Structure 1
Amino acid sequence: MFRRNYVAAAAPSIPNKPAIPYPVDTAAGPMLRYQKSLPRLPVPALSETLEKYLKSVRALTNEEEYAKTKAIVTEFQNPGGIGEELHKRLLEKANNPNVINWLEDWWNETAYYGYRDPTVVYVSYFFAYKDDKLRKDPAARAAAIVTAALEFRRLVVEQQLEPEYAKKLPLCMASYKWMFNACRYPNKPSDFELTFDPATNNHMTVIRNNKFFIIDLVKDGIQLSTSEIESQIRKVYKLAGNTKDPAIGALTTENRDNWTDYRKLLLAIGSNEQLLKKIESSVFALCLDDTSPVTRDEISHACWVGDGRNRYFDKSLQFIVFDNGKAGFCGEHSSMDGTPTARLNDFVCDSIAKNKINHGSPNIRSNLPEPERLNFTLNNDILDAIAKAESNFDSLVAKHDLRVLAYQGYGKNGIKKLGFSPDAYVQMIIQLAYYKMYGVSRSTYESAQTRKFAHGRTEVCRSTSVDSVNWVKAMEDTKVPLEVKADLGRKAIQSHVKYMSEAVEGRGCDRHLFGLRMSLKPGEEKPAIFTDPTYIKSTHWFLSTSQLSSEYFDGYGWGEVVPDGYGIAYQINANVISFNVVSMHLNNQRMCHYLREAADEMKELFEHTQAKEGRVPAKL
């Protein structure tokens, strides 16, 4: 079972006038003008996938284990065998003209909607913003965030948003439909998601002290100005008072089957169904927390999970503002990966910082309606459910530890000066840090986005390679000369670059193998390749990693995917590398120490050897 999907790595660029080889759909708006022309997600050749798989597991196995796995793979791809048959079935699905993306339905069901563990910790993710020096008052900051988010929404709704690009090719923009006015719904045996008409749903949900309020963002056909939004938010603070209500939002932190049952209890009483629909159909949620986090660890933890009460985790977008004016975001991951919401949040922060949005008139209209308080009807069964949800949430979160390392020795600029791909370089920092801590290299997942294909999401880039293992061992061996270490390091980094470049082309091994496994018919025996201990070990992601970067974020992250592993999200900004380390108390502080030590040692190594070769200055 998948614990969660993985936030797609490396936010795409948005050039002004890329040379696009695809025809333009003139009937669509700018945002979707290339959508019909996007290629379909390919199905790699079976031999290519199995060769890549064997090469990847060689780094994780001894001679005996590898020999057994190689024999199993050889049997799987025998002519006329089960591997060939499964590949044929997969090709039939991929070539079906009615199927946009052969992976989509299987992945959404297995990784998300059919997944029953809580979305909190295992699925949702966060961005923590840097401070707004001009808006330390929470109501003022919240209002500015709302105005900026509404401008981004306008671009999406009117389809005026410029598509994202990677290597001058447009990326799929289909997932943007799940950004605003969207909500996930608990359901057995599988959840689903709904969107609501943006033309008739121009209200936002505001949560304070576990109490829900609705603020209409349009009055008499005119969107509220930032001053008007701020005025309405201040009313919410006043109306919410200093007492807390029973935390209906805590129900959204529950196991999905439990939440399904609890929601039915809610719907059966009074006007709760109509009240829930107002939340579900809202543009987004604004959570006004009563805490004042200060450190990076504190604000990251508060954006990631908070106290589990003052939230509605099924909403696709939750903006969070704290009493000291700090702010951030929490995203529901099911229908939308991290690159679109990273773009949204970067746009929000950049627009505010550079005063690029129209805040409207400073005057406040006298006829604005009061924020609407949602007064839910609760009985003892629902109150018991809330108490259970709170207890389960507190227990789950207590099992986890989150630490942030803001490494300020150098960043993207310094890595490029050394002549390396920043992402591949940082992946090797993580590999070296893990080896320093455990004395062994283990399976590592890095998310690679496949949005160059229609409805594409992610593929796995397997970061642990034979080359990375050889390099980390050499780094910890005092007998190995620096020049040899540097050569092995360059080879490891280049190996990662090659795998990533193939993964974003849909030519990793993991999604193909997943598709083959899903092509089995009911009652068919699972082939040995999928029960092989090596396969199980190679997909047990001790390190689940991903990169998204913004100069406006002070934190970004999510949880681990296996109990004995780490979730390491990282940002590679101009002069800083930020690591967000989450695990079930696997000594994250020590992992942060080794990440810092690894980054220092790599800098020293490549500075020394390249300076000796006369290729770069001795110091960055």
Structure 2
Amino acid sequence: MAEAHQAVAFQFTVTPDGIDLRLSHEALKQIYLSGLRSWKKKMARLKNSFITGVYPASPSSWLFVVIAIMGTMYARVDPSMGMIGKIKEHLPVSGYLSHQGQSIVSALLFSTGLWFALIMTMRYILKQLLSYHGWMYEQHGKMSATTKLWLTLVKIFSGRKPMLYSYQASLPRLPVPSTKDTMQRYLDSVRPLMNDEEFKRMTALAKDFEVKLAPKLQWYLKLKSWWASNYVSDWWEEYIYLRGRGPIMVNSNYYAMDFLYVTPTPIQAARAGNTVHALLLYRRKLSREELKPSRVPGSIIPLCSGQWERTFNTTRIPGLETDTIHHYTDSKHIVVYHKGRFFRVWVYHGGRMLNPKELELQFQHILNDTNPPLPGEEKLAALTAGDRATWAKARSAYFRSGKNLQALDLVEKAAFFVTLDEDEQGLRTEDPIHSLDAYAKSLLHGKCYDRWFDKSFTFVVFKNGKVGLNAEHSWADAPIVGHLWESMLATDCFQLGYDDNGHCKGPADSTLPVPQRMQWDISDECLEVIQSSLNVAEALAADVDFHAFPFNDFGKGLIKKCKTSPDAFIQIALQLAHYRDKGKFCLTYEASMTRLFREGRTETVRSCTVESSNFVKSMADSSATNAERLKLFRLAAEKHQLLYRNAMTGAGIDRHLFCLYVVSKYLGLDSPFLKEVLSEPWRLSTSQTPIQQVELFDLVNHPEYVSCGGGFGPVADDGYGVSYIIVGENLINFHVSCKFSSHETDAHRFGKHIRESLLDILALFNLQKA
């Protein structure tokens, strides 16, 4: 086979005259180029680490300090106040240097020490400045003199030309709230969900916990906050994600969709070529730290960029009690799944990245391959869709050696996983409702065996050229994947493009090795485990009710005219929709980020408040006037904004309570209060997908290039999961999920209530749509 010959660096035969050695110059050339690329990457990482390590100063500033110190010395001024002389006296190599040489070396050492001291001082000042969050609580459009001064100082101490991770060491640590504040905020959050008797009982439980057990748990938590970079994130990753033993498909993984109205090319291989190349370009920028550091939208305030590190070359490894995340420094291949077969595709050749046209040919070769799957190969990935312990036992029993170990190693070390899907998906004008629902379900779970759910993400290319993505959740949160997705879509359409026939542009090297079929040896016992996992996954997938729909009656353009936050507007509309859907209020989860702090991930905004409940009740009260309802709405919106700001600035409720609970388990202490709080179900789980790179898309001149966003499965068996993305000025895309098995929920019914609630709230303002 051609690919087998490409893999051989040299051949030899034993003859009567000795060993006949025949070297393959092409193979040796590839080895040399591969090694050269590897060393270049190592040197680039070393350089970037140094530049990031001295930020907010720059390496060139060291030379400036040295020249300044040397200049003052020649002017017979000692800026070190005797320090240079002391260093000179204790130089270990003084016997080998002249008097002048000793002076120069001592001055260099002092200058370097002074330079590092200045760096640490600037970094400390910047960290203290970034610990101030008063700017978040000021009225929109108005800025106090204090905040203006603060912003000026932040700009001065932020340095110039930061790289992706430049601000990491300057970010403050997540503070531990006081237990008194957390208890009060918790009780406020559950008040609309309880009657007087229930609330009285919960208040007593909270007060008892606050007085008796909380001080001891809080002491341990503060100790951790002083020692660790973030007192929440490592426990959150381990206990919320990695220790879960149920399927991660539907329950944890989430998805992202393609453009809503545009498909750049209907040719599957061509779309795969461009988009995979765009993803690889993003990976190269990431490895070189050329991506701009993450910031609060529209400001200079940095956010933690730590989650970007594991975007590529990452997989989740199953374990009996807990999973682990493995991140590899580099990967030169991707793994592609098509019609039940696994292929390894090299993405580098001759020391360079394959261009889009070359990748198109690679994918076309796979599409043209008519060989059937090996026994057990087709549904193998169902192991990643079922229970984690089952997968861990199977991995240990059947994938420890031979072909299976080699093939699994290729999957887990791949840059990412690609599925060339046999179905056609996307919005169809003749059936817009069901086509988007099917598209969402396909990305969320597919056939339960055609996505590798353990990879950091599985990239899906459908037969008609539509694309999508299924992301594993433990390694990072949705904004990180969203940033990748925005860049990929923009690069695909506006930079790479297609020729007139819909194929990738550019030349192709005809000598490239073709994709290599991966070999598996699946035993009958392993086949039974695969089928068992598939049964579990298919039952879970069949129970998912999904409704994805665009809401284009109005968008943030009109909401801004209401002088309220678009997010608060939508969240209150969701409260109204839920009340109309179920006739009651429920504990509501809205995801907020805590990336103003180092290694920050998420916090919960409890969107169901006393204020929002009062507004919802007024909408159901025929005797209430619109003026009264509008007043209650503004109070609810203000309260929601306050809760969101509290969550972002480390004054949330749920992460603190979660960590107190973890400490109590480590200490073997039982808390009825914490046990009850942590067992409360989130029957309405919501999340906004932010658009982080608005400059990539010109929605004024090209309104058709709008993202459809993404979604996730329901958190509670009898609840709803709602994801939404605010696109441009006139569109909001919603993704609603629930379970068929619950008689209380219906995704399409809830979608109808969301539409009606948004329109009914807007009507209170008596605005005319633009």
Kindly indicate whether residue 492 of structure 2 is the aligned counterpart of residue 333 of structure 1: no
Matched letter for residue 235 of structure 2: W
Instruction: Note the C-alpha offset of 1:356.
Output: 6.2
Kindly indicate whether residue 309 of structure 2 is the aligned counterpart of residue 177 of structure 1: yes
TM-score (norm 2): 0.73
CA contact (8 A) 2:155 2:300 kept: no
**Residue range with higher mean Cα deviation, 585-594 or 65-74:** 65-74
Alignment-derived partner of residue 121 in structure 1: 250
Alignment-derived partner of residue 366 in structure 2: 236
1:291 to 412, 423, 434: 423
Aligned counterparts, 1:13-32, within 5 A? 20=154, 30-32=163-165
Alignment-derived partner of residue 506 in structure 1: 650
Q: Secondary structure at the match of 1:95?
A: helix
Aligned counterparts, 1:33-48, within 5 A? 33-48=166-181
Alignment-derived partner of residue 449 in structure 1: 593
TM-score (norm 1): 0.90
Kindly indicate whether residue 724 of structure 2 is the aligned counterpart of residue 570 of structure 1: yes
Q: Secondary structure at the match of 1:177?
A: helix
Kindly indicate whether residue 196 of structure 2 is the aligned counterpart of residue 68 of structure 1: no
1:433 to 568, 574, 577: 577
User: What is the alpha-carbon distance in structure 1 between the residues aligned to residue 423 and residue 152 of structure 2?
Assistant: 45
1:91 to 216, 222, 227: 222
Distance 1:510 1:133, change over 3 A: closer
Aligned counterparts, 1:260-299, within 5 A? 260-268=392-400, 270-294=402-426, 295-299=435-439
Matched letter for residue 568 of structure 1: V
Alignment-derived partner of residue 54 in structure 2: none
Instruction: Note the C-alpha offset of 1:417.
Output: 2.1
Matched letter for residue 333 of structure 1: H
| Cα root mean square deviation, aligned | 2.2
User: What is the alpha-carbon distance in structure 2 between the residues aligned to residue 358 and residue 140 of structure 1?
Assistant: 8
What stretches of structure 1 of length at least 5 have no aligned partner?
A: 1-16, 609-616
Alignment-derived partner of residue 397 in structure 1: 541
| CA shift digits 1:282-337 (9 cap, x unpaired) | 11111111011242111111111111121111110211111111111111111111
User: What is the alpha-carbon distance in structure 2 between the residues aligned to residue 65 and residue 484 of structure 1?
Assistant: 29
Matched letter for residue 39 of structure 1: P
User: What is the alpha-carbon distance in structure 1 between the residues aligned to residue 174 and residue 451 of structure 2?
Assistant: 36
Matched letter for residue 526 of structure 1: D
Kindly indicate whether residue 713 of structure 2 is the aligned counterpart of residue 554 of structure 1: no
Matched letter for residue 311 of structure 1: R
User: What is the alpha-carbon distance in structure 2 between the residues aligned to residue 357 and residue 503 of structure 1?
Assistant: 41
Q: Secondary structure at the match of 1:441?
A: coil
CA contact (8 A) 2:341 2:373 kept: no
1:584 to 739, 751, 759: 739
Instruction: Note the C-alpha offset of 1:552.
Output: 3.9
Distance 1:349 1:521, change over 3 A: closer
User: What is the alpha-carbon distance in structure 2 between the residues aligned to residue 566 and residue 112 of structure 1?
Assistant: 20
Instruction: Note the C-alpha offset of 1:507.
Output: 0.8
Instruction: Note the C-alpha offset of 1:578.
Output: 1.6
Alignment-derived partner of residue 563 in structure 2: 419
Q: Secondary structure at the match of 1:292?
A: coil
| CA shift digits 1:464-486 (9 cap, x unpaired) | 00001000010111110010011
Instruction: Note the C-alpha offset of 1:238.
Output: 1.3
Instruction: Note the C-alpha offset of 1:242.
Output: 7.1
Matched letter for residue 120 of structure 1: M
User: What is the alpha-carbon distance in structure 1 between the residues aligned to residue 204 and residue 324 of structure 2?
Assistant: 41
2:450 to 283, 303, 310: 310
Matched letter for residue 226 of structure 1: P
2:639 to 495, 505, 522: 495
CA contact (8 A) 1:346 1:552 kept: no
Distance 1:168 1:358, change over 3 A: farther
User: What is the alpha-carbon distance in structure 1 between the residues aligned to residue 726 and residue 653 of structure 2?
Assistant: 26
Matched letter for residue 70 of structure 1: T
Q: Secondary structure at the match of 1:554?
A: coil
Distance 1:40 1:510, change over 3 A: same
CA contact (8 A) 2:658 2:678 kept: no
1:102 to 228, 231, 236: 231
CA contact (8 A) 1:269 1:378 kept: no
- Name the structure where helix makes up a greater proportion of residues: 2
Q: Secondary structure at the match of 1:170?
A: coil
| CA shift digits 1:70-121 (9 cap, x unpaired) | 222222222xx3111111111111112xx11111221111111111111100
CA contact (8 A) 2:263 2:465 kept: no
| CA shift digits 1:246-280 (9 cap, x unpaired) | 31111110100001011123314532111111111
User: What is the alpha-carbon distance in structure 2 between the residues aligned to residue 58 and residue 277 of structure 1?
Assistant: 52
User: What is the alpha-carbon distance in structure 1 between the residues aligned to residue 242 and residue 491 of structure 2?
Assistant: 34
Q: Secondary structure at the match of 1:583?
A: strand
User: What is the alpha-carbon distance in structure 2 between the residues aligned to residue 243 and residue 279 of structure 1?
Assistant: 17
User: What is the alpha-carbon distance in structure 1 between the residues aligned to residue 163 and residue 572 of structure 2?
Assistant: 39
Distance 1:522 1:286, change over 3 A: closer
Instruction: Note the C-alpha offset of 1:353.
Output: 2.4
1:111 to 209, 225, 240: 240
Instruction: Note the C-alpha offset of 1:395.
Output: 1.0
| CA shift digits 1:106-140 (9 cap, x unpaired) | 11111111111111001100011125443111111
Aligned counterparts, 1:141-160, within 5 A? 141-160=271-290
User: What is the alpha-carbon distance in structure 2 between the residues aligned to residue 241 and residue 406 of structure 1?
Assistant: 41
Instruction: Note the C-alpha offset of 1:392.
Output: 1.5
User: What is the alpha-carbon distance in structure 1 between the residues aligned to residue 332 and residue 611 of structure 2?
Assistant: 53
Q: Secondary structure at the match of 2:708?
A: strand
Larger radius of gyration: 2
Identity of aligned residues (%): 31
| CA shift digits 1:473-518 (9 cap, x unpaired) | 1011111001001111111111111100110111111111111111
Instruction: Note the C-alpha offset of 1:525.
Output: 3.4
Instruction: Note the C-alpha offset of 1:452.
Output: 1.3
Kindly indicate whether residue 372 of structure 2 is the aligned counterpart of residue 372 of structure 1: no
| CA shift digits 1:581-611 (9 cap, x unpaired) | 11112211111111111011111112x2xxx
What stretches of structure 2 of length at least 5 have no aligned partner?
A: 1-150, 427-434, 692-704
User: What is the alpha-carbon distance in structure 2 between the residues aligned to residue 143 and residue 536 of structure 1?
Assistant: 46
